[in-house]
Chains A and B, each alone.
Chain A
C-alpha cells in the first residue's frame, strides 16, 4: 500500500470507513431533495427559460437584436463564449493534469469539477452557434461533401480550428467523465431499493461488476485519457486565442495570447470550481472530504495562474510601447484611459490584485474570503474578455467610425440565461449523480484518511454495525491459550469471574473500536476470547487490575466501552 508522510494533512477527515464514504455520497441522492434545492432549481430554471426565450427570439429575428454595429462586430457573444470556455478548463485540468502529477487531493473535487466543465462548454458552444446567424446550417462548418461544387470549409482558419477543438474537447471530456462515473453508478445501483431507480442506474452503470480485469482496464483508460486530455486542454484555449492572435487588429495580434489565455482559463475555471465547491460541500455535508486543505490547494493554483495572467497583462502593455507601433500603443492607451477605462481597471483589480492576497495563509485558508475572491475573479475574467474584444474594436483606424457598445436586453438575456441553464444542469447533476468519485476516494482512504494516519483506526476498514459474523468459522489458534503465567492471581480471579471460554469459540475481538492486535493477544493470553466474556464484565467492580495489565490502550473507559459494544454484538447475533 502507498504510504504517505504523516506530516501531510489528511485528505479525508474523521474516521471514515469504506461504507461510510458510500453512505455520505449516496444518501443525498437516495433521499428527498431539500427545500433549498427546489428553490435554487426553480430560480435557475426560470432564468434559463428566459434565456432560451431570448435565443429563440434572436433566431427568429436575427443577429440585429444584439447591440452589435459596423465597428463593434464582436462583443458580448464572443466575450461570453470565451468566458465559458475558460471556465470549462478547470475540470479537465483537475482530473487529467493532476492525475498525471498524482495529486491525490484532486479525487474529492474532480467529479463535480468535470461536470462543471462539461456544462460550461455546453454554454460556450451556444454562442458561436447563434453567432453563425443561421443556426440551421451550422453543419456547414463540417467538411461534408456537398452540392455546391468543391465548397469546403477553410482549414487555414482558426475559427474552423475552434470548431474541431471545442467539439473534441467536449466529447473527450464527456467520455472521460462518464467512464469514471460508471463504477459509482454501479454502487448506487446495488444500493437502490426503488425499482425505477434500480433500473435507471443499472442502465447508466452499463453492467459494471468491478472485476479485477475491469479495474485494470479502467486504470489504463483513465491514464491514457488523462494523457490525451492534458495537451487537449492546452490546445483548446490556445486555439481560442488564435481567433484573435492571427487577426491583424492592433491589440489582438500578439504572440503572447496562447499561454496567456490558457493561464487565464485555468484561473477562471478554478474560481468557478471554488464558487460551486464551497456551496456544495456545505449543502451535501461533504466537509470531511473537501476541507480547508483542498480549498487552500485550489487557492494556490488561483494565485499562481493569477500571477501569470498579471505578468501577461503587464508584458502586453510594455510591448505595445516598446514595439513602437503607434496603433498598437494606442489600443492599449485607449484600454486604460479611454471611455472603457472602468472595464480595464476592473479587470486589473479583480485579476491581478485580488489573487495576490492569497499569499497570506490566513486569507487563503478562510472560506468566506475564498468565496469572495472566487466571485471577484469570475467577474474580472469576464471583464478581461470584454476588454480584449469590445474595447479593442470600438476605436478602429478611422475615427469617424468610432463607436460605443450598448448591450440590448437580448444580449443580457442570453448571457444571464446561460448562467441559469448552467445551474440547472449543475443542480440536476448534484441531485442524481455521485458528486464525489467514490471509487477514487476509497483508494486513498487508508493512506490519507485522518484516523488511518493517526493510527487509531481499526484495520480492516469496516464498520462494526455492518459486520457479518454468521458464516465465519475461525481456525483454532495453535497457541496454548491456557497459559496465564504473566497474570497474577488477582487478575486470574477477575477473568474466572467472566466465565470460561473454549479457544474454538473465539470471537474476533479486534472488531471492537480501539481494540488492536496487541490488545487482543493480551486478552487472549489471560483467557478472554469471546464477546460473552467481555459482556460479563461488571462495571461496578474494580477494573484496575485489567487496566494495569493491558497498559496504555486499556483504560477503564475503554474497557467499559468494549463491554457495551460486546453486549450489542451478542444481541445482534441472537437476532
Chain B
C-alpha cells in the first residue's frame, strides 16, 4: 500500500473523460496519463502535456537531407567528374544547380519523412516486439481510461481520489498497487 497506488478510471465517452479531467485538474489533481482508442482533441493542455517537438525535428532532418544532397551532387557532378554535355562541361555548381533541384527536393522529403518516422517510433517506444501497456484491452476499442497515481497526488488520500473520480461519470474503476 502506501504511495504506490494507481487508479485506472474507465469512461465510455471521450467528452465525459475530458470534462472529468478538467474538473479533477481544477481541484489540483495530476492526471498521469490517458489511454484512448483515438486521439481526444484538446486533452493535452488539460492534463498538462507539452506540444510535441517532432515537427521541429522533421524540419532539421529535412535540412540535413538538403545539405547532403547538395554536397553529394556538387562532388559527383562538379568536382569529381564535370560531365560534358553538348560541349558545356559542368564547372560551376550554381549554374548547374537547376538540374539538381528535383533530386534535392526528393532527398529533403526522404530524410524528413523517414528520420521523423524513426524518431517517432523511438520516442513513442513503439518498436516491433514491444509489449503493449494499455491497462485494459478495451481501450483500443471503445473505452477511455484515465490513469491517476497516488505518488503524483500526495496532497490527497487514496479515499479522496477515489471519491473525486466517482463523481466524474466513470463506468469502472480499477486500482493497482505497484511496488
Residues of A within 8 A of B (CB): 1-2, 17-19, 22, 143, 150-152, 154-156, 158, 160-161, 164-165, 168, 171-172, 175-176, 179, 182-183, 186-187, 189-191, 202-221, 223-225, 228-229, 231-232, 235, 239, 242, 438-440, 442-443, 446, 459-463, 466-475
Shortest C-beta distance, B75 to chain A (Å), equals 9
A18→B134 contact, CB < 8 A: no
Partner of A175, one of B39, B114, B142: B114
B103 within 8 A of A: yes
B156 within 8 A of A: no
- In the complex, chain A residues whose CB is within 8 Å of the CB of B81: 150-152
A207→B131 contact, CB < 8 A: yes
B110→A171 contact, CB < 8 A: yes
Considering the chains assembled together, what is the distance between the CA atoms of A186 and B131 in angstroms? 11
Interface digits, B114-155 against A, CB 8 Å rule (1 contact, 0 not)? 101100110111111111111001111110000000000000
B76 within 8 A of A: yes
Considering the chains assembled together, what is the distance between the CA atoms of A470 and B57 in angstroms? 46
A168→B116 contact, CB < 8 A: no
A175→B54 contact, CB < 8 A: no
Considering the chains assembled together, what is the distance between the CA atoms of A1 and B14 in angstroms? 10
B13→A439 contact, CB < 8 A: no
Considering the chains assembled together, what is the distance between the CA atoms of A218 and B52 in angstroms? 10
B126→A206 contact, CB < 8 A: yes
**Among residues 55 to 105 in chain B, which have CB atoms less than 8 Å away from a CB atom of chain A?**
55, 58, 62, 72-73, 76-77, 80-81, 83, 85, 96, 99-100, 102-103, 105
| Residue ID in chain B nearest A164 by CB atoms | B106
B138→A443 contact, CB < 8 A: no
B133→A207 contact, CB < 8 A: yes
Partner of A224, one of B96, B116, B124, B174: B116
B44→A472 contact, CB < 8 A: no
Shortest C-beta distance, B13 to chain A (Å), equals 3
B102→A161 contact, CB < 8 A: yes
Could you write out 28 A-B pairs with CB less than 8 Å apart?
A18-B142, A150-B81, A155-B99, A175-B113, A179-B120, A187-B37, A190-B138, A191-B137, A202-B131, A205-B126, A207-B126, A207-B129, A209-B133, A210-B36, A210-B134, A211-B34, A211-B133, A215-B39, A215-B40, A216-B44, A219-B39, A220-B55, A221-B54, A224-B54, A439-B37, A440-B38, A462-B13, A475-B163
B121→A164 contact, CB < 8 A: no
| Residue ID in chain B nearest A239 by CB atoms | B102
| 3 smallest beta-carbon distances between A and B, as pairs | A207-B130, A460-B13, A18-B142
| Additional pairs, 20, CB under 8 Å, beyond known A151-B81, A217-B124, A439-B39 | A19-B142, A22-B142, A155-B99, A155-B100, A156-B96, A171-B114, A175-B117, A187-B140, A190-B140, A209-B134, A211-B33, A215-B40, A228-B62, A443-B38, A446-B15, A460-B15, A466-B142, A468-B171, A471-B173, A472-B170
Shortest C-beta distance, B163 to chain A (Å), equals 8
| Residue ID in chain A nearest B47 by CB atoms | A212
A475→B77 contact, CB < 8 A: no
B80→A190 contact, CB < 8 A: no
Shortest C-beta distance, A510 to chain B (Å), equals 11
- In the complex, chain B residues whose CB is within 8 Å of the CB of A190: 132, 134, 137-141
B139→A210 contact, CB < 8 A: yes
